[in-house]
Structure 1
Amino acid sequence: MTRCHIANAATSTAAAEDRYQHVCKKISKRLIGFLFVCFVLSFLDRINIGFAGLTMMGDLGLTGTQFGLASTFFYIAYIACGIPSNIVLARIGARRWIGSLMIAWGLASTCTLFATDATSLYLLRMLVGVTEAGFLPGVLLYLTFWFPSAYRARANALFMIAMPFTAGFSSALSGLILGLDGIWGLKGWQWLFLLEGLPSVVMGCVVFSYLDDRPQQAKWLDSEEQALLHHALSADRASGSAAATQDARSVWRELASPRILLFCLVYFCLVNTLAMIAVWTPLIVKSFNSVSSNQSIGLLAAIPQVCTIILMIVWGLHSDRTRERRWHLVLPMLMAAIGWILTAVSSYPAMQLLGVCMAASGSYSAMSIFWTTPDQALSFNARAVGIAVINAVGNIGSAVNPLVIGWLKDLTLSFSSGFAYAATLMILGALLALRLPISTPEHQP
């Protein structure tokens, strides 16, 4: 081959790479921002009970165990409905299903203001769990229809920063809303569920007119862009399916394979910390200084989330640029474990807050990397159910954690034993992650 031919080939490859990057950025601008807002509302309706608990526990006469059990019931319903929800999404499309889910969970979350005792709270939180179950695994599946694996860590990170963003934003917002206590005869926590639940209903209506189920239906992509994306996704699917289907005679046998069980176990360990941050952060921060006002607690609880957003973006971008996944998953999990240990052993509020920052930043960054990997270990036919299975089994940690932490707090009158529990699971999860069947993302296009 002559130098001229080599130069022309290099120029052609560079031009194709530029077009590929342009298409991915165009999709990101169109979808990620919108899905980010949807996830903010979803996560807000999931975690606002943590701030409601600052006053709800006293108003309803709940113990720490009962309050934790409300979140446990939420996740029991969430786990039970996640798999069938993803199956429905794969059949009828994301636009109709996600829109319907948002309207349903918005109404269910709003109705939590009518809780009068532990039993009614359990039932209402289960209803929220049923309706919200399909959103996260559904969107994770949806993103595999639009983003090839080489681009997905940054896409996942930009989408999933909705979780720390919401936790930080709601920390300040919820503290202010609790100050509405007594207006129109409603308690502050009742205002919380009302004002943070109804926006999901409105956004659910918007989903019906905004989302496209597949790239082929997207009128905002021209034919060349659709062809380029189809080529990249097909190559992605072929490279992943070759490894995933070697010992899979059926979808269900594939889902019961040891590699999928390993993904479930790693996610279970990771989710315990995610659940602890989501539900207990306000009460953990309050334990550092019991005389702080709800507004001060809200502002302090926002600090770990700001740190998390920064690390998630930087870490996801670095993982895509280096095309490395395994250590980008393991290292932040170990960082989170160190954070919990620091929070447990220190008696200084500033050091304890630093520990929470490390735990939050590490666990959320690990999660955004984690969800770039399962689809490469699954055949295309098993992907919808497989992602839902991993999410459902892993989220048993979300059901177990609030109950365990609430019980440990009632038993020891401190969160320290809960911190040790979370740290142990993160170390175990990091060790298991070293054995995950993680492949290197193919260079695109």
Structure 2
Amino acid sequence: MADNVGGGLETAIPQGQVLESAMRKARNRLMPFLILMYLLAFLDRANVGIAKQALQTQVHISDAMFALGAGIFFIGYAVFEVPSNLILHRVGARVWLGRIMITWGIVAACTMFVVGGSSFVALRLLLGVAEAGFFPGVILYLTYWFPPEYRGRVLGMFYFGYPLALTLGTPLSGVLLGFDGVAGLAGWQWMFLIEGLLAAGVGVLTMFVLPDRPADVAWLSADEKAALSVVIDRESSDKHAEGSGTFRQALRDVQLLKFVVIYFLMQIGSYGVVFYLPDQVSALLGVKIGLLVSLVSAIPWLCAIVFTAIWPVIATRVNRPRMFFLVCLLMVAGGILLSAHASPSVAIVALCIAASGIIASQAIFWTFPTDHFGGTAAAGGLAVINAIGNLGGFVAPNLRSEADHLFHTSTAGLHALAIAALLSASTALLLPAQGRRVVATALNSMAGRRGGR
């Protein structure tokens, strides 16, 4: 079998043409659909910020109950994250990711039936349980298709779903809020219903269109499959040789703790902005949340799309991920602090800087654990990082609310979020300065074996 693989790649491998072709096809075929999936995931997670004022005035949910409901999503998410990802590794992404999307879409749509604080908190908890495993499942899935040299670029592309959800989804949510009274439903009920059913529909589609592995598709040639198999298998064998291939090894690895701490602190800053950005923009503009606030709230995320299209690509190309990651975290901290004290126009610019740092930092961050872990260590390790790290999403709204209440000012919470970003940057100094490289090594090794024959 090895001889057949080598013979099929005799000419193309030294030039990298076959692998480059495989990467281009995989990127074009897989990434648009994965971006759509993430867009809907984040929309159903974050649209609660758009509904905040309506829920408080029409359903009488207090600030404290809203903060609890916004954050408790991550408790259910954390509890079921690891088993979900291990199941995905065993049964395949197509079935399991489709199941996750259908389940969370139904639960998200059911948020239209909220009648008070208790039902709001219960449905947010259930939504976290339903969505558990989606994000680390996709990150794991990308390691089946893209070697480290390409992973930073595709992670940057995948993260487009995050700001797209807030750039396109926020105005959509604002429009749906305008359906108030149609068919006897409030605007916020229409928002949860339509956006939840969209996710469930795409989940059904996932069952039919998402391939599990390169070997399952007809749009890669035999040589392209073989070239991709060489580099993916080489990376996997390297990780196993380094003791980073099983879940038990991952749990004993001190690197896992570093990744968890960094990601947890990152998420405090991230969700502290996401959940409250419409509210902050509303206060800056002096108007209620509606279409205008939704459109202005989309501007920072539009800037984030542009920045994330460039920054992670450069980080991968020069192979200095830590330096580029630190810059992003400093952008988050500085942008949040400036937005707390500047005039409305400058504050919007500051939020653009913070949002750009939030999205690009997350795209770069995941290159570190995916470079480090392989096999079931990746399946379980990525889930552990995401599960515990995303508890920062529970801490963020409660931290911001409590800080504002404790210091009797609306800026104290923003200061707390900025401090979290700075602490994340400090911990990130412990990460490796350069990323893993396997493509050249794997292809040169094959060339050497062919020369030996």
Smaller-chain TM-score bracket: over 0.9
RMSD, aligned CA? 1.8
Question: Mapping of 1:295-334 within 5 angstroms?
Answer: 295-334=291-330
Question: Mapping of 1:7-406 within 5 angstroms?
Answer: 16-245=15-244, 251-291=247-287, 294-346=290-342, 348-406=343-401
CA distance in 1, matches of 2:363, 2:243: 22
Tell me if the contact between 2:92 and 2:212 (Cα under 8 Å) persists in the aligned partners. yes
Deviations 1:129-156 (A, max 9, x none): 1111111010000000000010001100
Deviations 1:5-59 (A, max 9, x none): xxxxxx9678632222211110011111111111111111111111011211111
Tell me if the contact between 1:241 and 1:377 (Cα under 8 Å) persists in the aligned partners. no
User: Which residue of the partner structure matches residue 426 of structure 1?
Assistant: 421
Q: Displacement, 1:187? A: 1.0
CA distance in 1, matches of 2:409, 2:49: 17
TM-score (norm 1): 0.93
Tell me if the contact between 2:247 and 2:378 (Cα under 8 Å) persists in the aligned partners. no
Structure 1 residues 217 and 438 mapped into 2: Cα distance closer, same or farther (>3 Å)? Answer: farther
Q: Displacement, 1:407? A: 2.8
Structure 1 residues 209 and 113 mapped into 2: Cα distance closer, same or farther (>3 Å)? Answer: same
Q: Displacement, 1:235? A: 2.2
Show structure 1 runs of 5+ residues with no match.
1-10
One-letter amino acid matched to 1:265? V
Structure 1 residues 378 and 438 mapped into 2: Cα distance closer, same or farther (>3 Å)? Answer: farther
Q: Displacement, 1:287? A: 1.7
CA distance in 2, matches of 1:29, 1:215: 14
Deviations 1:364-403 (A, max 9, x none): 1010000111022224331100000010110110111112
CA distance in 2, matches of 1:126, 1:13: 52
Structure 1 residues 27 and 415 mapped into 2: Cα distance closer, same or farther (>3 Å)? Answer: farther
Three-state SS of the structure 1 residue aligned to 2:413 is helix
Q: Displacement, 1:338? A: 0.8
After TM superposition, what 4+ stretches of structure 1 lie above 6 angstroms from structure 2?
none
Tell me if the contact between 1:241 and 1:376 (Cα under 8 Å) persists in the aligned partners. no
CA distance in 2, matches of 1:314, 1:241: 32
Tell me if the contact between 1:376 and 1:439 (Cα under 8 Å) persists in the aligned partners. no
Q: Displacement, 1:333? A: 0.5
Q: Displacement, 1:238? A: 3.2
Q: Displacement, 1:439? A: 4.4
Structure 1 residues 103 and 76 mapped into 2: Cα distance closer, same or farther (>3 Å)? Answer: same
Tell me if the contact between 1:324 and 1:440 (Cα under 8 Å) persists in the aligned partners. yes
CA distance in 2, matches of 1:357, 1:57: 27
One-letter amino acid matched to 1:444? V
Tell me if the contact between 1:154 and 1:317 (Cα under 8 Å) persists in the aligned partners. yes
CA distance in 2, matches of 1:64, 1:199: 29
Deviations 1:257-316 (A, max 9, x none): 321101000001111122123211111111212225511100110110011001111012
One-letter amino acid matched to 2:375? F
Structure 1 residues 380 and 437 mapped into 2: Cα distance closer, same or farther (>3 Å)? Answer: farther
Structure 1 residues 78 and 438 mapped into 2: Cα distance closer, same or farther (>3 Å)? Answer: farther
Structure 1 residues 438 and 254 mapped into 2: Cα distance closer, same or farther (>3 Å)? Answer: farther
Q: Displacement, 1:438? A: 5.6
In the comparison of the two structures, how many residue pairs are matched? 431
CA distance in 1, matches of 2:354, 2:410: 14
User: Which residue of the partner structure matches residue 7 of structure 1?
Assistant: none
TM-score (norm 2): 0.91
Q: Displacement, 1:219? A: 1.9
One-letter amino acid matched to 1:422? L
CA distance in 2, matches of 1:22, 1:57: 53
Q: Displacement, 1:172? A: 1.2
Show structure 2 runs of 5+ residues with no match.
1-9, 441-453
